[in-house]
């Protein structure tokens, strides 16, 4: 394996070709660990008040939205299938998340969730690709013109199976995931705002300047 750790820049979105960077029109985001702080291990965000935005998340959503990108959320919420929270509770959490995102200029176009427990062997729980495929189908934007942002290896695997390029953020489980996968395996950003700035900057930089 040539995964020896070499000094040098960490690979990021910038290494994608200008054409590839320009083509991104849809961002699919994992929720816990990307938008909000994870609940403690074994527990879930069950109430709106327990949903706490990560630093940079609201700003990142707003930057992407202002650049004209479609925003979808795709999240595993097995707490529902395990009977630890109700669908009504999950909807209340998502209503507040959407309201706050919109109030900060980063309105979400779609929020997709898998409510199933792992034992149910559904097709939507990441690393299965179902949620991602649904997000792509609803968008009308090609999988290859979409990127997925995740913090967990399951997110990256679901993206791979759905044919969607993926990037990692170092929030939530992101640093641990980056270590597990090797630092060169996937582009990684400190948080959503850093990634959003890279996407927006590269889109603008490659455009011919007006006279
Ligand atoms: Mg996550
Ligand atoms: Zn499911």
Q: 73 has which bridge partners?
A: 29, 111
d(CA 103, CA 90): 20
Does residue 4 sit within a domain?
no
Mean pLDDT of 13-33: 82
| Shortest-distance ligand to the CA of residue 150 | 1
Residue 122 CA, ligand 2 centroid: distance in Å: 5
pLDDT value of residue 13: 61
Residue 68 CA, ligand 2 centroid: distance in Å: 29
3 state SS of 8: coil
The enclosing H or E element of 58 equals: helix 57-66
Quick: pLDDT tens for 120-129. 999 999 999 9
Catalytic entry in 32, 38, 151, 152: 32
Number of domains making up the chain: 1
Catalytic entry in 30, 38, 151, 191: 30
Residue 134 CA, ligand 1 centroid: distance in Å: 18
Question: Would you place residue 203 in the very low, low, confident or very high pLDDT band (cuts 50, 70, 90)?
Answer: low
Residue 103 CA, ligand 2 centroid: distance in Å: 30
Does residue 37 sit within a domain?
yes
d(CA 42, CA 24): 35
Does residue 23 sit within a domain?
yes
Q: Is 30 a catalytic residue?
A: yes
34 contacts 172 by C-beta, under 8 angstroms: yes
| Shortest-distance ligand to the CA of residue 134 | 2
Which has more confidence, 122 or 10? 122
Assigned token pair, 150: 């995740």
Give, in order, the Cα–Cα distances in Å from 122 to each of 72, 160, 202. 20, 18, 38
Residue 16 CA, ligand 1 centroid: distance in Å: 24
| Shortest-distance ligand to the CA of residue 119 | 2
Sheet holding 26-29, edge to edge: 110-114, 70-76, 26-29, 146-150, 166-169, 188-189
Does residue 7 sit within a domain?
no
Mean model confidence pLDDT for the chain: 89
Side-chain-facing half-sphere of 183: CA atoms under 13 Å: 9
Residue 171 CA, ligand 1 centroid: distance in Å: 9
CATH number of the domain where residue 33 is located: 3.40.50.1000
Does residue 140 sit within a domain?
yes
Quick: pLDDT tens for 143-202. 999 999 999 999 999 999 999 999 999 999 999 999 998 877 888 999 999 999 988 886
3 state SS of 178: helix
| Shortest-distance ligand to the CA of residue 75 | 1
- Which residue range forms the structural domain that includes residue 43? 19-204
Does residue 31 sit within a domain?
yes
pTM equals 0.89
pLDDT value of residue 199: 86
pLDDT at residue 5 greater than cutoff 80:
no
Residue 173 CA, ligand 1 centroid: distance in Å: 7
Does residue 187 sit within a domain?
yes
Does residue 14 sit within a domain?
no
Quick: pLDDT tens for 53-101. 999 999 999 999 999 999 999 999 999 999 999 999 999 999 999 999 9
pLDDT at residue 41 greater than cutoff 90:
no
What's the CA angle centered on 112, arms 110 and 113, to 5 degrees?
155
């Amino acid at each position: 394996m040539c995964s020896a750790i070499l000094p040098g820049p960490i690979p990021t979105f910038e290494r994608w070709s200008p054409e590839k960077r320009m083509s991104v029109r849809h961002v699919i985001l994992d929720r816990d660990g990307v938008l909000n702080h994870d609940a403690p291990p074994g527990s879930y965000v069950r109430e709106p008040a327990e949903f706490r935005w990560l630093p940079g998340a609201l700003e990142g959503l707003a930057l992407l939205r202002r650049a004209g990108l479609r925003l979808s959320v795709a999240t595993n919420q097995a707490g529902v299938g395990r009977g630890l929270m109700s669908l009504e509770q999950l909807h209340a959490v998502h209503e507040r998340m959407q309201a706050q995102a919109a109030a900060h200029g980063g309105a979400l176009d779609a929020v997709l969730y898998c409510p199933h427990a792992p034992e149910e062997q559904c097709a939507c729980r990441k690393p299965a690709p179902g949620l991602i495929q649904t997000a792509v189908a609803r968008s009308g934007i090609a999988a290859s013109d979409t990127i997925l942002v995740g913090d967990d290896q399951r997110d990256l695997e679901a993206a791979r199976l759905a044919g969607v390029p993926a990037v990692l953020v170092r929030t939530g489980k992101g640093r641990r995931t980056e270590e597990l996968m090797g630092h060169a395996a996937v582009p990684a950003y400190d948080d959503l705002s850093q990634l959003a700035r890279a996407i927006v900057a590269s889109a603008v930089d490659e455009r011919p300047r007006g006279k």
